[in-house]
Copies of this chain bind each other. A is one copy, B any other.
Amino acid sequence: MFDLTELVGSCAAVLTTLSFLPQVFRTWSTGSAHDFSWIWVIGFASGLFLWLIYGLALSSVPLVGANGLTLSLVLLIGFIKWRGRLRV
């Protein structure tokens, strides 16, 4: 069955996740995440994790996909930030 709702959700997921990618590429290439606060990294990652649980509860593929992927990217930024701290 063609499901318009899931299509709209999938387009939403692609757009908001893509919007976040240039930031990740920038952080990856500079290897620096000094300008992100830990409060933002932890707060945003916790929020995305809860969206992921919410998406699983609603059996929503777009919610799980978008938030799972974006959470991985935020954790990557967190890892780069943590590694940078070790270097100093």
Question: Hey, which bits of chain A sit against chain B, CB under 8 A?
Answer: 4-5, 8-9, 11-16, 18-19, 22, 40, 43-44, 46-51, 53-54, 57-58, 60, 62
Given A12-B50, A12-B54, A60-B58, A18 contacting B43 (CB threshold 8 A): yes
A44 CB contacts on chain B under 8 angstroms: 15-16, 19
A51 CB contacts on chain B under 8 angstroms: 9, 12, 16
A47 CB contacts on chain B under 8 angstroms: 11-16, 18-19
Min CB gap A38→B, angstroms: 12
Min CB gap A7→B, angstroms: 9
User: Can you list 6 A-B contacts with CB-CB less than 8 angstroms, sorted by A residue number?
Assistant: A8-B53, A9-B54, A12-B51, A16-B48, A16-B51, A19-B44
